[in-house]
Amino acid sequence: MYQEALRDRPDDGIRLRLAFALLRAGDGSGAQRTAREVLAREPDSRSSEAEQTLRRFLAVAPAHPAAAEIKRLLAAGQSTGR
């Protein structure tokens, strides 16, 4: 669904939703690739929104295989003042 939406309207918000859908589906490499595409274009954009999204993900899926990596990213962001 998100891939179809991207064909109609390229948007980083949709790309990030796609990344999380891929992550939930067990496609960690696809999720990482999609998220990196967004970061390559806008490395400093919406960092507060990104943090909120990651925290929501952890609240919904605390036992997800990606949870440890997401916690590490959030901790690294806090230590750098982001």
What gap in Å lies between CA 34 and CA 28, rounded to an integer?
10
Residue 9, pLDDT score: 86
pTM: 0.56
| Phi, psi angle pair for 23, to nearest 5° | -65, -45
Q: Where are the domains of the chain?
A: 2-79
Tens of each residue's pLDDT in the chain, 82 residues? 888 888 888 888 888 888 888 888 888 888 888 888 887 777 666 666 778 888 888 888 888 888 888 888 788 776 555 5
What is the per-residue burial (b if ≥16 Cβ within 10 Å, else e) of 26-61?
eeeeebeebbeebeeeeeeeeeeebeebbeebbeee
| Tokens 């400093």, located at residue | 44
